[in-house]
Structure formats: structure tokens, C-alpha cells
Amino acid sequence: MCLAIPMKIIKKNGETGVAEKNGVKREIFLDLVDVSEGDYVLVHAGIAIGKIEEEEISDRW
């Protein structure tokens, strides 16, 4: 089973960026998705694997 965490892109620098969730920031790879700062993505193993809408994020995350 794989687990992906919804995170917000707060900084983008080419194919990498910084994502944040609940004050925790992580540098991630953005190679697989076309995103801008402010977008939400699902992050698995340091890689953004899909773009999602903010409304799709469950309160439990």
C-alpha cells in the first residue's frame, strides 16, 4: 500500500519545489505534474504524483 500526503506548493524552482502541510516543509520533485505556487499536490516519497483541488483534502489531513 502506498500513502500520499496532500501538500501545498509554496515555492517552485524548475523541477523541484517546497511543499508545506501543517507547518512542515519538504523539498519535493515536481517532474510528474504541471503546478504553480499555491497549488495542492499529493506527495509520495518526496515526489508530487498528482495535482488536487483544495476541496478534495479531507479534514483528517
> Domain-by-domain residue ranges, the chain?
5-56
**Which residues, 6 or more positions from 17, have their beta carbon under 8 angstroms from its beta carbon?**
9, 10, 11, 27, 28, 30, 35, 37, 48
CA dihedral 33, 7, 13, 51 (to 10 degrees): 20
The model carries a pTM of 0.89
pLDDT score at 58: 73
Q: What is the mean pLDDT of residues 40-51?
A: 97
What mean pLDDT do residues 10-32 have?
A: 97
Instruction: Give the pLDDT score at 60.
Output: 62
Please give the CATH topology (third level) of the domain spanning 5-56.
SH3 type barrels. (2.30.30)
- Indicate if the pLDDT at residue 1 is higher than 90: no
The angle at the Cα of 20, spanning 57 to 43, to the nearest 5 degrees, equals: 60
**What average pLDDT does the segment 53-59 reach?**
82
